[in-house]
Amino acid sequence: MKINTKKSLGQNFIFDKNLLIKISNCIKSKSSNSIIEIGPGLGTLTNFLYQKKYKQLILIEKDIRLIENLKKKFNISKVEILNIDAINFDYNINSLRHSIIVGNLPFNVSVDLLYLWTKYKNWPPQHDKMVLMFQKEVANRIMASPNNKSYGKLSVVIQSRYKIKKLLDIPASAFTPRPKVDAIVLEFTPFKDFGLIDINKIDKVAKDAFSQRRKKIKNNLSSYLSEINNLSINSDLRPEDLTVLDYCNIAKSI
């Protein structure tokens, strides 16, 4: 099937079979898992997901032009194909317990989707794993450690909820149309260590801290100075010097 990609939907397809096999091999599933694929597009990765073990396979595709092709390729008695925006789907319902969320995320909404999955009030979520592709710059921000120029609010918030593992580098040349940047596939595993701390408080503290990266936290986090002092955190440090644990402890104490 030939199709003109829509820039507004952030569409970049992968056709390299060897690369698709590598991505597929990163996704380990059992018959108790639901697999949810975001943006299956022309179904190139779906071909491999379709052959795995799963309780149900759900494809979420916003582009109506691609739906009929997906219905022709895959037995709809085995696969649920939804023509909706991925950000409007409820991933956290009981029937999706032990789900695995996968996808070459549309670059223009990847961070919005990640925040959606991270900010559930009740933690851990229904999904067991996520295997997702991001622009390299975004992936580096997600994975970044303290004292790294990529480390910021995104790093803190996501790492307060997930163990993150880098799986694959994907060159820009693998996509059609070719984007300006390379991509990285990451694996996310929810963990409970900070699960009882309000995620919105963690987000707020990190946002305030990184609002002016070069200033000391005693300036950016002046509202929380008593909490910072009680935690024996040096208020002369800069935002990138604090660990995820530090930010979580500050959020917990306010």
- Report pLDDT for 11: 56
Q: Are 242 and 184 members of one domain?
A: no
pLDDT digit of tens for each residue in the chain (254 aa)?
555 544 444 457 788 999 999 999 999 999 999 999 999 999 999 999 999 999 999 999 999 989 999 999 998 888 999 999 999 999 999 999 999 999 988 777 899 999 999 999 899 999 999 999 999 999 999 999 999 999 999 999 999 999 999 999 999 988 877 878 899 999 999 999 999 999 999 999 999 999 999 999 999 999 999 999 999 999 999 999 999 999 999 999 99
Which domain CATH number covers 74? Answer: 3.40.50.150
Separation of alpha carbons 65 and 3, rounded Å: 8
Domain count for the chain: 2
Residue range of the domain that includes 236:
199-253
- Report pLDDT for 10: 46
Is-cis flag, bond preceding 124, omega within 30?
Answer: yes
- Report pLDDT for 8: 43
Output the six-digit token pair for 165.
Answer: 């593992």
Rounded to whole angstroms, the maximal C-alpha distance in the chain is 62
Q: Are 140 and 209 members of one domain?
A: no
Q: Are 114 and 168 members of one domain?
A: yes
Return the number of other C-beta atoms located less than 10 Å from residue 55's C-beta.
16
